[in-house]
């Protein structure tokens, strides 16, 4: 799998973001800033679903 630029801002320095670790090959390439932002959003949505 080849690293891609951030899908949000185009930054070439990226992390692999997994929305579900049950699907390890389903990756969104995001820079560190956007990776953290997506993680926060995911945690909030999971918290809301649990309520």
Summarised one tens digit per residue, pLDDT across range 12-33 is 999 998 888 888 889 999 999 9
pTM for this structure?
0.77
Is residue 29 a contact partner of residue 5, using CB atoms and an 8 Å limit? yes
All structural domains of the chain with their residue ranges: 15-50
- Local structure of residue 30 (DSSP, 8 states): E
Q: What 3-state DSSP class applies to 4?
A: coil
Q: Identify the residue with better confidence: 51 or 44.
A: 44
Instruction: Identify the helix (H) or strand (E) that includes residue 40.
Output: helix 32-50
Which contiguous run of DSSP H or E holds residue 28?
strand 28-30
């Amino acid at each position: 799998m080849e690293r891609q630029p951030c899908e949000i801002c185009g930054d070439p320095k990226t992390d692999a973001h997994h929305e579900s670790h049950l699907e390890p090959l389903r990756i969104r390439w995001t820079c560190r800033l956007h990776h953290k932002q997506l993680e926060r959003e995911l945690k909030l949505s999971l918290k809301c679903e649990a309520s």
